[in-house]
Structure 1
Amino acid sequence: MHYLAALLALTGIHLLAVASPGPAFVATMRISMQHRRKVAVTHSLGLGCAAFLWALAAVFGVQVVLAKAEWLYRILQFGGGAYLCYIGIQSWRHARSAGPRAVTNAEAPSMSAAAAFFRGFMLNLTNPKVIVFFASIFTAVLQPSWPLWIRGVVLAIVFVDEAGYFIVLALLLSTQKAQAAYRRAKTVIERTAGAVMFTFGGKLIYSATSR
């Protein structure tokens, strides 16, 4: 029973963290409103796979390596910040460009599913703070003496939480009404999203260079 309580606690904590607004939320909102539903779903799967890798790294104690090799952690922070800034600048630059007329129109431009997966994957992979989060909650909830299969269940929970939340969000935002609203307010949405992405990226770069 104590296993179940720990797993439920971990699920709840992680879901709250996933649901908090951040770069992944902003990126999912943009892609869901701009592109076909399949593209938005594969982007969400990319987010889930990256979270799974960070959780796997935390399970095997990679956060200890990053804590000792501070230069490596800084490089990861700087690279992640630069990537977020790049996405933010691109969003701002193309805010006034014409968006897709309708996601059901075969002529409408759309990101490929593979490109969407890669973007979602890289978005979460370039945020080293994720491993710090996982290391913290794993230390608080999991006991070192517990069997290995518990950690396997934890990794599955992380993937299902992350991918599942963003898939549901993508499905909600990829409706015709949501996309029509996006087309009406595209410039404002894109520039706001770009500013948010750039801000998150700037914070990561500042953290990497201010120590």
Structure 2
Amino acid sequence: MNLANPKSILFAASVLIVIFPPDLAPAEKALIVANHLAVELVVYTGFAALLSTRLARAGYLRLKPVIDRVAGAILGALGLRLLLDR
């Protein structure tokens, strides 16, 4: 689903760069990527199932501005960490 979205690929790559050390073995990197794919499949499937209900969709739309601000703050903190650590 996200393979066609370059922003999501760049986001995932930047998070992996910030969190994991650069000297990982190729097998460890492959395991991390496979785990990331599995988590995305589970999470997005769960979101789709949950937000298919009217009540959950209404609650999400009501809280969307707060969720967006919190997510933006987290992404900003990760970006700042990347800038300061490198």
TM-score for both structures, normalised by structure 2: 0.65
Deviations 1:20-71 (A, max 9, x none): xxxxxxxxxxxxxxxxxxxxxx12xx4xxxxxxxxxxxxxxxxxxxxxxxxx
Cα distance in structure 1, aligned partners of 2:34 and 2:77 = 28
Structure 2 stretches lacking a partner, 5+ long: none
1:154-193 pair list within 5 angstroms: 154-175=28-49, 177-180=50-53, 181-185=55-59, 186-188=61-63, 190-193=64-67
Q: Which has the higher contact order (CA 8 A, sep 6+)?
A: 1
Q: How many residues align?
A: 81
Which of 2, 11, 16 is the matching residue for 1:123? Answer: 11
1:19-168 pair list within 5 angstroms: 42-43=1-2, 46=3, 114=4, 117-125=5-13, 127=14, 130-135=16-21, 138=24, 151-168=25-42
Cα distance in structure 2, aligned partners of 1:133 and 1:195 = 22
Task: Please tell me the residue identity of whatever aligns with 1:187.
Answer: R
Q: Which residue of 2 aligns with 1:200?
A: 74
Is the radius of gyration larger for structure 1 or structure 2? 1
CA distance 1:205–1:183, change in 2 (3 Å): same
CA distance 1:118–1:173, change in 2 (3 Å): same
Structure 1 stretches lacking a partner, 5+ long: 1-41, 47-113, 139-150
TM-aligned CA deviation for residue 133 of structure 1: 2.7
Please tell me the root mean square deviation across aligned C-alpha atoms, in Å: 2.8
TM-score for both structures, normalised by structure 1: 0.32
Task: Please tell me the residue identity of whatever aligns with 2:33.
Answer: F
TM-aligned CA deviation for residue 135 of structure 1: 1.0
Identity of aligned residues (%): 12
CA distance 1:179–1:192, change in 2 (3 Å): farther
